[in-house]
Amino acid sequence: MHFIETRGNDGQRPAQVSFSEAILSPMSSYGGIYVPAHLPKLGLEFLRAHLDADYKTLARDVLSAFELDIDTALIDAALALYDEFDNPADPVPVVKVRDDLYVSELYHGPTRAFKDMALQPFGVVLSTLARRRGEQYLILAATSGDTGPATLETFKNRPGVKVACLYPDGGTSDVQRLQMVTEDAPNLKVIGIHGNFDDAQSALKRLLGSTAFRARLKEQDTHLSAANSVNFGRIIFQLIYHIHSYLTLARQSAIALGDRVYLDVPSGNFGNALGGYYAMKMGLPVEKILIASNRNNILTELIHTGRYDMRDRAIIPTNAPAMDILKSSNVERVLHDLYGAARTRELMQQLDTQLHYELSADELTRLQAVFAADWCDDDTAKRYIRETFATGYLMDPHTATCFKAYDTCRSQPLTTIAYSTAEWTKFSPTIANALTGEVDAHDRDALKTIAAKAGTPIPARIDGLFGKPITQDAVVDKAAIEAAVLSFI
């Protein structure tokens, strides 16, 4: 399997690269990113053959279909990380919440968020490749709250790898912040910035594409990569759980193999939705992918109108901060698949330079054939949290946005899989307020309130954060990010 560039080739880089090259150096010509040259076709026979397969077997066979230049032993070592999840036999439980609505719980890994599904195995793959090459790598990560903890967790103390993680100061939940700023492994650096996630992600992309920055790293015999979903090494592990969730419904007799379903995805940077899109293209029977947003509803506008417009807009802080994003990196990969490299380059360069683009009527029709979208404000999300808790299910505010899309976006009464991207512990003040009216609670107080009301313990890994010393206290202006990273190196 070869990987090609979303914006076409500039003549300075190889026209196609291997998977290992794509994940070690994820940025491509004209500021683009890598995608598979083609997608393997799985189909009903593959689904039927894996109806009773465990998660690791399914994952191994999906990865095998891509014909990656990664040996079987390394893939097995990477997938073994799922044995450390809450239930090794079922790392992604799928829970019935309504008659035709099921929640795929992606948060049962070490940092209690869906990013563990991809970053746990990805960390093993990337660090092992670096070690085998005898190379040192700096891994950049920009986070809206969950990528950071998961990246730090997977790479800590791994030889040959250093991580610099950027997060918006004040733009994450307190638990997410503590998961980052209490990390003390010597190969990790956490840098808060005065800005938002888009600022952090823009800095990451700028550094990844900077010849001067790479030259400075080369002086330290260091190569550069990234842990964000601009790296296809993230995406390839994310598409697996969409297939798993479908097969779980078939095992539960909620659907028959071949029945079409809706995938209902809370969306910020669009990597989770992209995984569903690729699974659909590979043969998963999907009617449509429902995109759930918060008040930063730029994706809803794109899918409704064909316009992606960041002019005169600023990120609105919400109770679902992992979705407080305006520039969603992985939309680019969908554009490439639907419209080709030349058109993608045109659209993305217009977005980069003019902060907007507009699809043609035909292009919009093709987009709407796959996606539907709606957005959910904070008060509505809290109502869904409260009402769903009353029926016996506890969820976080990101998951709650999916319930709005479920109610408004389906044109047929088909079974729907909503994706829960974070455990309730990550956003406890919002949930406590939704359930009890408690206002301005400190995270630890809110955790206790919810635990008592739900009759469930606070996980030890979360509760223990509040007693750990702060080891990462750097907060810098946007202009000082590069200097802070170089100082760490």
Reported as a single tens digit per residue, the pLDDT across 334-375 is 999 999 999 999 999 999 999 999 999 999 999 999 999 999
**Is pLDDT at 320 greater than 80 in this prediction?**
yes
Residue (of 189, 183, 192) closest to 471 by Cα position: 183
What the block records as the tokens of 202 is 């823009």
- The Cα 427–Cα 398 span in angstroms is 9
Q: Percent of the chain having pLDDT more than 90?
A: 96
Per-residue pLDDT at 341: 98
Decide which of 3.40.50.1100, 3.90.230.10, 3.40.30.10, 3.90.650.10 is the CATH code for 75-111+233-459: 3.40.50.1100
**Is pLDDT at 277 greater than 80 in this prediction?**
yes
What letters, b where the CB count within 10 A reaches 16 and e where it falls short, cover 372-383?
bbbbbbbebbbb
* pLDDT grade for 305, boundaries at 50, 70 and 90: very high
194 Rama sector, left if φ>0, alpha if ψ -120 to 50, beta otherwise: beta
Q: Tokens 């993305």 identify what position? A: 348
Per-residue pLDDT at 145: 87
When the pLDDT of each residue in the chain is averaged and rounded to a whole number, the result is 96
Q: What is the pTM of this model?
A: 0.95
- The Cα 325–Cα 193 span in angstroms is 15
| Minimum mean pLDDT range among 161-165, 380-384, 442-446 | 442-446
Mean pLDDT score, 159-171: 94
Q: How far is CA 118 from the centre of its chain?
A: 8
Per-residue pLDDT at 40: 97
**Is pLDDT at 240 greater than 80 in this prediction?**
yes
- The Cα 461–Cα 178 span in angstroms is 11
pLDDT digit string, tens, across residues 72-112 = 999 999 999 999 999 999 999 999 999 999 999 999 999 99
Per-residue pLDDT at 238: 97
Three-state DSSP at 230 gives: coil
What the block records as the tokens of 76 is 């097995």
- The Cα 18–Cα 327 span in angstroms is 27
For the chain, the structural domain boundaries read: 75-111+233-459
Residue (of 145, 138, 137) closest to 166 by Cα position: 145
- The Cα 161–Cα 154 span in angstroms is 11
- The Cα 264–Cα 273 span in angstroms is 8
Three-state DSSP at 482 gives: helix
Per the model's pLDDT, the better-predicted residue between 441 and 254 turns out to be 254
Mean pLDDT score, 306-317: 96
Mean pLDDT score, 422-451: 94
pLDDT digit string, tens, across residues 376-394 = 999 999 999 999 999 999 9
* pLDDT grade for 442, boundaries at 50, 70 and 90: confident
Residue (of 288, 260, 273, 262) closest to 416 by Cα position: 262
DSSP symbols for 324-374:
--SS-TTHHHHHHHHH-HHHHHHHHHHHHHHSEEE--HHHHHHHHTTEEEE
